[in-house]
Amino acid sequence: MTNAIPKRNTKTLGRLSPSDKKRLEKFLNYLEKEALLFMGYPCSEAYNYSELNALFSYSINNVGDPFQKSNYHLNTHHFEQEVIEYFKKLTTAPHKSWGYVTNGGTEGNLYGLYLAREYIGSDAVVYYSQDSHYSVIKNIRILNIKEQVIARQKNGEIDYDDLAEKILQNKSKKIIINANIGTTITGAIDQVSKIKKILRRLKINKYYIHADAAFFGMILPFLDKVPAFGFDTGIDSIAISGHKMIGSPLPCGIVLVRSKYMRSISSPIEYIGSIDDTITGSRNGITPMYLWYALRTTSHDDFCERVQSCFENADYTIAKLNALGLNAWRNTYSFIVVFDACAPKVLSKWQIAVSGNLAHLIPMPHITKTGIDHFIDEIKNT
Ligand SMILES: *Cc1c(COP(=O)(O)O)cnc(C)c1O
């Protein structure tokens, strides 16, 4: 009888052919080039997680509730818990709140609206502004809830008068509100305090407010004198993306909710030895490690500095575009540079998103003034 420690069989099924290897190499070169021209989306490329690469040798899976024990031991729940605790502080979440690391802002929005529907009832109406992210509209369809689109002001912020009017017009007073904490196109903020004032004035007592803070949830906490958006304003849930301001090679995000809304949706599952209270079954266990790594290696002051330099680069870009005679601007708490769409070839080369006649450049932390100068030169020369 031998009692040798068993070894894991890690034999792969085969190896890449020389031509496939070449193809992969070519693709990596392409990525390296395109990564330099990445100016239109709010995803930071300023990170280095190579210390975590060893994690990729394990079938890590965070299935189930990150705060419960699980039969699936290859998980990163303890790190995920720390990430959630960090975001709880950042959003002034009450002690009785809960959350998990999602696949991104979209899943967080789906989760928030799901709990809202379970709490308010399926005959609720979701009010959201015209400038809401497309994921909000999709999630409302998935959840089969009624919807009411609200007009927006010129800067992209929800039109509060229209919101009040539409609530009055609706016979059903079962209300769910999606507040945009930073719209995708112009970075406008729907002010929760103003929304609450309307609800009070109209004597609406039962409602649910979900905050879509996919991008700005990691910007506003690092600025002075910004509109409040956290749980202290009375929101019920919030979604924040992880791959945007923090940056991550794999999309991710967090969702936080008040615990009381969890009761109706949590069910213990014998098979995983845990509670099934997330949207998906199997969940990414690597992404919580990226977030944990970023939060352990970046201080509050570091984040403030990072955010500040993005604002500086935004103002730099605006001045340069204005000097070319182009209309360019940003909202007060946003470093999304909005400008009149022009030179389509240049915009597409720099991966700049266009919506109607508006384009936007987002000087994320990986973008330098030299990069901006290159872009401006190309605009000038077309
Ligand atoms: C990016 C974004 C989303 C979607 O987030 P994903 O992480 O891409 O799923 C939702 N809402 C807003 C306001 C966003 O900016």
* Nearest residue by C-alpha to atom 6 in ligand 1: 105
* Nearest residue by C-alpha to atom 4 in ligand 1: 105
How far is residue 187's CA from residue 314's CA, in Å, rounded to a whole number? 13
What is the value of pTM for the model shown?
0.96
Name residue 48's amino acid. N
Name residue 240's amino acid. I
Q: 318 near 328, Cβ under 8 Å?
A: yes
* Nearest residue by C-alpha to atom 14 in ligand 1: 214
Q: Which of 70, 129, 135, 334 is catalytic?
A: 334
* Nearest residue by C-alpha to atom 12 in ligand 1: 214
Our answer on whether the CB atom of 287 is closer than 6 Å to any ligand 1 atom is: no
* Nearest residue by C-alpha to atom 1 in ligand 1: 214
Sign of CA dihedral 353, 48, 367, 213: positive
Our answer on whether the CB atom of 212 is closer than 6 Å to any ligand 1 atom is: yes
> 133 C-alpha to center of ligand 1: Å?
7
Complete DSSP assignment for 74-139: S--HHHHHHHHHHHHHHTT--SSEEEEEESSHHHHHHHHHHHHHHHH-TT-EEEEETTS-HHHHHH
For residue 243, give the ligand 1 atom closest to its CA.
Answer: 7
How far is residue 197's CA from residue 272's CA, in Å, rounded to a whole number? 44
Q: Which helix or strand (DSSP H or E) is residue 15 part of?
A: none
For residue 241, give the ligand 1 atom closest to its CA.
Answer: 7
Our answer on whether the CB atom of 104 is closer than 6 Å to any ligand 1 atom is: yes
> 106 C-alpha to center of ligand 1: Å?
6
Active-site residue, 172 included = no
For residue 108, give the ligand 1 atom closest to its CA.
Answer: 9
Mutate to test the pocket of ligand 1, among 41, 103, 106 (most ligand atoms within 8 A of CB): 106
Find all residues with CB under 8 Å of 255, minimum gap 6, and list them: 99, 100, 102, 107, 108, 111, 112, 237, 238, 239, 240
For residue 107, give the ligand 1 atom closest to its CA.
Answer: 9
Q: What share of the chain is helix, strand, coil (3-state, %, to 5)?
A: 40, 15, 40
For residue 182, give the ligand 1 atom closest to its CA.
Answer: 13
Our answer on whether the CB atom of 278 is closer than 6 Å to any ligand 1 atom is: no
Our answer on whether the CB atom of 44 is closer than 6 Å to any ligand 1 atom is: no
Tens digit of pLDDT at every position of the chain (382 positions): 567 888 888 887 788 999 999 999 999 999 999 999 999 999 999 999 999 999 999 999 999 999 999 999 999 999 999 999 999 999 999 999 999 999 999 999 999 999 999 999 988 999 999 999 999 999 999 999 999 999 999 999 999 999 999 999 997 789 999 999 999 999 999 999 999 999 999 999 899 999 999 999 999 999 999 999 999 999 999 999 999 999 999 999 999 999 999 988 888 888 888 888 999 999 999 999 999 999 999 999 999 999 999 999 999 999 999 999 999 999 999 999 999 999 999 999 999 999 889 999 999 999 999 999 999 999 999 8
